[in-house]
A = this chain, B = another copy of it.
Amino acid sequence: MAVSTPESVVEPGPLAKYDTGEAMCPYRLVLEHLTSRWGVLVLIELLERPYRFSELRRAIGRVSEKMLTQTLQTLERDGLVHRDAKPVIPPRVDYSLTDLGREAAQQVRALAVWTERRMDAVQQARDAYDAAKRQR
C-alpha cells in the first residue's frame, strides 16, 4: 500500500463550544460516518485509487453488499465519495474520493496508522490492568 503525506493539513483550532455540550451536533454525525467500521476501510482503500464496486467489496472483505452500498451512499451524500456510473453494458460504476474526501481519508488514515503502531503499548496496558484487577 503506497503512502503519502497529507497534502493539506488542517491547522488545529478551537472547536465550537457545542462540540462537547451536544453530542449530536451536525459534525458529530459526520465524524460517525468517517469512523464507522466500513467508513474507515472504504476511505483508506479509496486513498490508494478508484475502485469498482465489486473490487472494493473484495478489497475490504467480510462486508455485505448492502452494508457497502449504504456506506458508499452515506459518504457520497456527505460529498466525500464520487460515484461515476458509466452508461455501458454491463453497467460499470466507479467510486473515488472527492478532494474533500481525500482530506478526510488522510485524517482517518493517520488515526488508523497511529492505532496500529501503538497496539503493543495498548496490549501491555491491558495485561497490566487485568493483572491488577485479579489481585484485588
With A15-B113, A125-B77 in contact, is A119–B30 under 8 Å at CB? yes
Across the interface, name the chain B residue whose C-beta is closest to A126. B77
Which residues of B sit under 8 angstroms from A118, Cβ to Cβ?
A: 100, 103-104
Q: Which residues of A contact B (CB under 8 A)?
A: 1-6, 10, 12-16, 19-23, 26-28, 30-32, 34-35, 37-38, 40-41, 44-45, 59-63, 76-80, 98, 100, 103-104, 107-119, 121-126, 128-130
A125 touches B100 (CB 8 A): yes
16 contacts between A and B (CB under 8 A): A5-B12, A12-B110, A19-B41, A20-B45, A20-B60, A21-B62, A23-B37, A23-B38, A23-B60, A30-B115, A76-B129, A77-B125, A80-B122, A100-B118, A103-B118, A104-B115
Docked Cα-Cα span, A109 to B31, in Å, equals 11
Q: Which of B14, B23, B114 contacts A107 (CB 8 A)?
A: B114
B37 touches A28 (CB 8 A): yes
Tallying the copies of this chain within the complex gives 2
Which residues of B sit under 8 angstroms from A125, Cβ to Cβ?
A: 77-80, 98, 100
Q: Which of B14, B79, B113, B117 contacts A122 (CB 8 A)?
A: B79
